[in-house]
Chain A
């Protein structure tokens, strides 16, 4: 595989996968939150356990200390292997068991038996006090207590029905909740549900309420105007968004509770189709690819979600798109007939994604489900071939969709485009000697080159540096040019000063030209002719980018043009 082919394939892979975006499952955020809580709780749990262990040791030591004191008053509690103690406390046994050490064993046994008894009885008492018993399922126990507390009206049948209700619940957290409820508190209904967002806006809701009573009624509000009255509900949301879903439950005793939760739907099945044609204006359908880029308007982040091949007639289609903003970008295949004639272009004929016209699918409802779009690729100017190269390097980009660079000639006409390699390097080959500007649509930055003139080897290109907008700027436009046309500062922002000679003292029109589509976003007429004119332009409202200044004379003398000007 030649390295050129490898590079080309890498480029295609970068275009397709570099900006690839996929929505994770809607409940993943909750998993993250609970995942973090769990790890936090684990830490807390460890600390608590350590604290308990520490306390137990201290208690034991205290106990030991106290027992020692007890022992001095003649008790047999202390289990020490102390010959003297044993001899004094059990003088009768001393003759039966001559070895002191053998006497020690029964003393220990006695001690542990004693301890066990105490621990056991204490626990038992504690259990009794809270009404908790280890032999019965705590959920059932708590419910049983609650049932008893409610009074004599509870029939046996009623209490028998309850274990069934309890086992229906699977959430262990709920069990511990009911366990906490004191026996003497009258338990009320507690509404609760969980849900699962399936595909296409379909959501399954699971009733998780604590239910008391034989007849519990349910009412689900989905906040899209729909309701349901079953215990577990299924619902289909037809539009994306956040829904405040509520479950209200009530029983025959008049108890009532409700619980609400926001349900986030991002996969609802209201879908639109975008059908389009590429290069219809140039009447040159060709093999190519169209990329669909989702534009998240809240975070201002574009990401690619799909790509589509052009058919023989130059058509593409993206179907079943959810509501939202999109940017569409069309490119021709490297091997296509017109590959060298058109620049990959975003919908709306701009090269920079953040200036590309975003296409909102919200508006499509009025026209049915499909909308027709036309993308006209921007043409490259025909160029001469030469033996020089324009080489440079840019900081690597995070967004592979924007790795394209455009080479402009001295007149500001786009003559070629290429891509930055993964290391940030780029190269335009086969150009004749001359002045060039390389434009990085991603940042709106540019760098100028002067290659081959009188030099057998191309001089190294000035390297642009990220973050310094004004570094590497081309020399001021037009110095030494015909008519002494000068425009500065370059790059400009709010104000641009233009100076030129006007020997015929004719009326002058200054035009700011967009070199990409030859539109004229700004014109200024100069009414007061003088031999040397100094005019101020205010390009503040122009979009950032590259422009050319054109000075036209009313008497028909040749117009003057500047080099590329940068508005930033």
Chain B
């Protein structure tokens, strides 16, 4: 599954470039659920996530001819989705440079609460975060980018990315605690 591009994928990609609707549908179904999951994390709600997904897939189909079979196809599709999501919210993003790393100290108990939350509930909490927090949180915790890279992607400095992440974590913990009570 991590192999860059296999023969089936090549055939599928060719079909999509030929604008063969069946290939495009197979391609779409292959990634729709997974990519929707990613879009959900970056979006405020399901509707926004679908908008991003649609926009992302249009870009994917328009640019598939430029896909170089060097990396994994899924990684490529995923990057397009993430970039689309970032663009979608870019205009709303407001960052404060005020570094405020004051936490409501997390306790061991919080970990148990967090493990107890269903994936769906956790998702809606992530969606409830302010846009700027959510972007940094996703890029760092779930995509594994470092602050320097996130800074470049969002056009902010490294320190801002760090403080946004700290705030995002605090925000999430507050939501989780609220749910517990």
Contact = CB atoms under 8 A, between A and B. Distances in A.
Contacts of A334: 111, 115
A512 to B, nearest CB: 26
A306 B120 contact: yes
Contacts of A20: 37-38, 40-41, 119, 123
B181 interface: no
Contact of B53 (A17, A24, A442): A24
A400 B142 contact: yes
Nearest to B114: A12
Given A31-B54, A301-B1, A335-B111, A23 B32 contact: yes
Interface stretch (A32-40, A71-79, A277-285): A32-40
Contact of B122 (A13, A36, A298): A13
A176 B68 CA distance: 42
B110 interface: yes
What's the dominant secondary structure at chain B's contact region? helix
Interface in B18-52: 21, 24-26, 28-34, 36-38, 40-41, 46, 49-50
Contacts of B34: 21, 301, 303
Interface stretch (B90-98, B100-108, B151-159): B100-108
A6 B24 CA distance: 41
B123 A17 contact: yes
A95 interface: no
A5 B110 CA distance: 9
Contacts of B54: 28, 31-32, 35
Contacts of B146: 423
Contact of B28 (A32, A296, A422): A32
A35 B30 CA distance: 20
B141 A398 contact: no
Interface residues of A, number: 57
B106 A36 contact: no
A18 interface: yes
Nearest to B103: A1
Given A13-B114, A443-B2, A422 B144 contact: yes
Contacts of A5: 106, 108, 110-111
B144 A19 contact: no
Interface residues of B, number: 56
Contacts of A32: 28, 54, 57-58, 61
Nearest to A40: B62
Contacts, number: 147
Nearest to A421: B144
B40 A289 contact: no
Interface in A1-57: 1, 5-6, 8-10, 12-14, 16-25, 28-29, 31-33, 35-36, 39
A307 B93 CA distance: 32
Contacts of B33: 21-24, 294, 296, 303
B106 A9 contact: yes
Contacts of B1: 300-301, 354, 399
Interface of B: 1-2, 21, 24-26, 28-34, 36-38, 40-41, 46, 49-50, 53-54, 57-58, 61-62, 72, 74-75, 78, 103, 105-106, 108, 110-112, 114-120, 122-123, 126, 140-146, 169
- Minimum-distance CB pairs A-B, first 5: A422-B144, A20-B37, A299-B30, A1-B106, A21-B37
Interface of A: 1, 5-6, 8-10, 12-14, 16-25, 28-29, 31-33, 35-36, 39, 287, 289, 294, 296, 298-301, 303-309, 333-335, 354, 396-400, 422-424, 442-443, 466
Given A16-B117, A334-B111, A399-B1, 19 more contacts: A1-B106, A10-B141, A20-B37, A20-B38, A21-B37, A24-B33, A24-B49, A31-B54, A32-B28, A32-B61, A287-B112, A299-B29, A301-B30, A303-B37, A305-B119, A306-B120, A398-B2, A422-B140, A424-B144
23 contacts: A5-B106, A6-B169, A12-B111, A20-B41, A21-B33, A21-B34, A21-B36, A22-B40, A22-B46, A23-B32, A23-B33, A24-B36, A32-B57, A299-B29, A301-B30, A306-B119, A307-B118, A333-B111, A334-B111, A334-B115, A354-B1, A397-B2, A442-B2
